[in-house]
Each structure stands twice: as structure tokens, then as C-alpha cells.
Structure 1
């Protein structure tokens, strides 16, 4: 866990690749890990509790080491594989969080202890994930900031008010105003503080390039290096305004060369949010396995306040490939592509429109 992307962690921050794994001495264990870079999509277990534990562990590591990469993991989990465990209405849950779901491929009633499901459920017989998720969300207010020897570190972005006491006993009040993660502009206002100089440190996410920081409208004179904290040291006063403007470009991401299941495939990510395709956004009788994305496609972002609780969707140029589900292996012929624009939705919001197929990674075609 010393790296931002350990070799057993998914692009969504999820961990625990398999329902059944093995310990180092070969004993079978449930909810386990398998080899590095072995990252199945369809059968990925990724228990909600395990994903949340990834965030909890990272918060403790952040407290020990003070490195921004741990806050990056917290943010990744809480915007993706943690939040995917609960519906947008807040009443239905997932125990497992795969990166791909296909119709009629698994027996979800194979035995009494099955916890993988094709749909969210209002009650989980193994009832650890729902309360763990809710209590973790409630804990985020305590994770958003950390106290350092002479200042405050801003770990997570989201509109809030901070009223606390720094380590020297002095009081501080900050207001954070932002529409993050849909917009990258974050404004922090100092409401009250001590007169002596102290630090306010802003996390620059590891994916953020070209971020800028101003104080009262002027350049802060501090470089916004990705995966670090930009430390602002000065005599602060009430009314001071800090703005960090983080570009929110939608982009394709790809996996390590050794991740066999996503070779020649890409996913879409914008800021900390990972996206996926669902069959409600495809023509009838088209599987997510039939979708290929155009590598040089424009990724158009559109915030829709009345869709899935309010979310930014992304549309991209895709090719649909029609083929029969036949033999295990068949001779190859040039595909008959159907070009179309396809909607991608945040992974955390999938399975809120009925039973659906879904995939995070799709094959990419460059022409």
C-alpha cells in the first residue's frame, strides 16, 4: 500500500479481487487477494467493506506519513468503489462491486452464502456493508482536514465549514465552497484565525495537471505539483480567500501491461470519478461486449442535475460490433462497425435504472 496504485488495486480503488483466494501458506480464504496484476472484471469481488477499508487504512497512513498519495486513494474509493455500494436513493446496496456485469453468465443462487448479486438489494443477509458504508460517509468530515505542527492540511474537497483548534490551541475557521468533483474550482475563505503565521496546505491530486493557486486573486507563488500538498505559509487574516483551480479534463486511462483482462482496453476518468457503460444507454439487444470506443474521440461532458441524483455524464464516439455468440474460437473477419455516440455514466451510479449490463473497460480502436 505504499504506492498510489498497488498491484492488487482496481482503477476504482477497489481491492480483494476474488471471493475465494489463498493465504501465503496456501490455505483457502474467502474475500481474498490473488496474484499481482491478476484483475478480473466480471468476477471481481471487491467487497464494499474491503474498499472502505482501503480508504480507512489510507487515512491512517496519511496521519503517519502526511503524503498526498494516501488522500488520493481515499478520494478514489469514496467517489467510486465505496459509493457504488449504495444506490443514489440511499436504500439499496451492493456487497460485491465488479467492474463488469453481463446477463446470464453467473449463477447468483449457486449456494446459500452467495453475496454477489446482479442488482442492488434492500437487505443483505451478510449485513456488514450497508452500516459500514454509512458510518464511513459520516466519518468523511473528520478526514477532510488534518492538523500539522503549525497549520491545517486540506485532504478532501467538498463544500463545508471547518471550526477547529490547531495543535497550538489557537482557533481557526475555514469555509470551503466548491462543486467538486463536477467542477475543479475550490474556494477556501479564512473566517477567523490566529495572527501568527501558519500553514494552509492544499492537496494537489495525482491526476491534476495544470492546477493553479491564488490568494486574494494573486498568484500564490507555490507550484501545484500533482500528488503533493502545496504549502501556503503566511500571516493569515479573516477574509483571505484561497482558490485552487484544478482542470477537470475527461481522459482515457489504461491498465498496466501485465493486467491481461484489460489489454487493449481503456476506461474513462474525469477528475477522481471513473465512468462506465450501461445497457440502458445502448440500443436494444446490444451487449456492453459489443462496444468499442474510438481512441481519438472527443469526450464531451454534460452535467445533468436531474439524472441519477445529479451527475456529469460523458459522451464519446463508439463502434458497435454485431457478432454471434458461437464457438469458443472463430476465424476473424473485418468487423461491420456501426458508429454512434454513447453515454458513459459514473461507475458509482450504475445499477440505478433496473437490471443492466455494465463495463468500466472497453476495447479501443484507433483509426
Structure 2
């Protein structure tokens, strides 16, 4: 699985018997960025499978994967306007290096398209988005588990037949403060369990302004059991730190490279935010400089970008192999955008992983 929750590395893979199959997997840790297939439907099915596993095992790690896919490799399949689509979702895009018409029924494209000849991804994506509210909560023997965060209203019947209504108020995933209000409930004690994301550190939980008395352990559900009253307010505050993430050392393609992640959202650098003519492969990120979140409510439908200092390599060459000396850098302060939002400002190059320089 890629850092974006995407799966299926290649258009042409192989079975365990080495038979060629389309839309498949290849060897462990062999995870190309530029040629990554990562079909939108496959990514969505990763979330669907995880939802079913969540229903069987009740483990928060499965909800973490749903969240990762739906904020990244699932959502990247559709444009901000909701009318153009990607079939494949690579983690890097370079123009002029691949023949996108090299085989019949080509599905990889450098830009989203309004119509896909293989028309499974658009309806699969929009129906998954419309169904996502049904994944936000799960019912247990005596309670409710909160799987996904986002402003909503829940009105349902618990397994014992009693009515429950909850309202959730939050700007998640841009802010980590989530407020849940009990609007209707039964008189007896029951559970309200909150997912503590696996990526989180230092989350706190209060009930009516007082410490809830539970440990917010990452990748678990914090179970609150009490006789709830109408008007009770639960708050989970999840710090939204901007961090570097790296791949397993066996993923050779991203060794000595990092990606930027804030909460569940993976970021990328896109050519509209670089000087004209910059080669995306000449972009390094300065590991010493702070990464600053910047709310932009009017940009690409409203999102949070990351202010970062990049280093553009000046002394370079095009030979397959060449002598190397200490690089010369051009410094650039610019923005990183959420991976899901790339390719919404015209034809662009993009990369999720970048080499990092600590000076």
C-alpha cells in the first residue's frame, strides 16, 4: 500500500504462477511512483474491504485506512468541480517521458478526463462518497463507535431498539478539534467510543469540559461508558502536526526521500507552485525549515496548504551516470497542496516524495 492508501502498483502484474494479469501487484516493496497504477476503483475497494474488516474485528486500524484512502488516493480520482476523473493515481507525474497511448484501452492519463473509456471509476467514486456517511459510525452490543470525523448528524436506533441522536461539529481534517453533542439517548449506561487515529500524538478527550478519564492511545478506540444525558458534550482534540514521513528502506524508489503529511492528508509539490521550467526531479525539501499550515478557504474549494522551503538544484546533468559534486541550490519558499487536489490548475507535474536536505 502506498502512503496515500493506494494499491495495485502496475497495469501489468503477475499471478503467483507468473501468469500475466492486468491491474495487478508486483513484488513486495517494488513500488514505483511515476508508473504507479493505483486504479481509483482499487483504492476505493481498499477502503471498502477495510470497512468490512472493521465490522468483523472492531479494530481502529481499519478505520485509519478508510480515512487515508478517502482523504487521498480515493478523492484524487475526481476534480474539485466533480466532473473530471483519473483512472490511475500515480505519486509522481513527469511530462514527455511516457507514451500514454502505448497499449490498447489506455487508462493512464496526464490529466483528468471528463469521460473514461473504462467507465468504472466515476460511478464507483461518486457512490462511495455518497455512501461514506454510512461508514462514519458503527453499532456495537451496547453503544456506538465513531469511526470517521466530519460535521454530521446521526439519527439511528441502537441494537437494543433505543433511539440515539448525535451531532458532530468539526473542521476536520483541517483542524483536529471534534465536538460531539448527545441530542437524544436512552436512560441507561452505554458506550460512545471515539477512534484515536494511528497517526496522532497527544490527543485529549473531555466530557462537559472535564477530563474523560480515558487514555487516548493511537490506533485504538477510547471507550466512554456512562449514563449519558441530552446536551452532554464530548470533545476530542487531536493535534494536527505537519510531519515528514519516509518509506520502508526496502522501497528503493523513495530511499532518502520524504513526503509531507498533516493529520490524514498527504501533500505534494505541483509545478504551478514552482518557477516556470523547473524540473520536478530537481526539487529537494529543506529539512531544517519549519512546515507551516496555512488555511486557504478560497483556494481550490477551501483547504489547508503547507508553506515550505524547497531547494532547486542548479548544477545537474542529463547523462545516465555522471560525476557528482556538492550541489548548488536555489532557495524557494512556496506551498505544498493536498495530493487529492493536484491537477486542478491545468496540466501539471507533481511529486509526493522528495529528497530531503539537512544542512
The interval holding the TM-score normalised by the smaller chain is over 0.9
1:179, distance to aligned residue in structure 2 (A): 0.3
1:1-367 equivalent positions in 2, closer than 5 A: 9-367=1-359
SS of residue paired to 1:363 = strand
* Aligned length in residues: 359
1:323, distance to aligned residue in structure 2 (A): 4.3
Query: 2:234 and 2:318 mapped to 1: Cα distance?
Result: 60
1:338, distance to aligned residue in structure 2 (A): 0.8
Report the TM-score, using the length of structure 2 for normalisation. 0.99
1:344, distance to aligned residue in structure 2 (A): 0.4
Per-residue deviation, residues 254-313 of structure 1 (Å, max 9, x unmatched): 000100000000000000000000000000110111111111220011010111110100
User: Retained in 1: the 8 A contact 2:86–2:113?
Assistant: yes
SS of residue paired to 2:30 = coil
Query: 1:201 and 1:74 mapped to 2: Cα distance?
Result: 17
Query: 1:27 and 1:152 mapped to 2: Cα distance?
Result: 45
1:322, distance to aligned residue in structure 2 (A): 2.3
- Give ranges in structure 1 of 5+ residues lacking alignment: 1-8
1:112, distance to aligned residue in structure 2 (A): 2.7
CA-based RMSD: 0.7
Report the TM-score, using the length of structure 1 for normalisation. 0.97
SS of residue paired to 2:69 = helix
- Give ranges in structure 2 of 5+ residues lacking alignment: none
1:109, distance to aligned residue in structure 2 (A): 1.4
Q: Structure 1 segments of 4 or more deviating over 3 A?
A: none
The equivalent of 1:4 in structure 2 is: none
Query: 1:325 and 1:339 mapped to 2: Cα distance?
Result: 19
Query: 1:366 and 1:158 mapped to 2: Cα distance?
Result: 36
Per-residue deviation, residues 21-50 of structure 1 (Å, max 9, x unmatched): 000111100000011111100000000000
The equivalent of 1:5 in structure 2 is: none
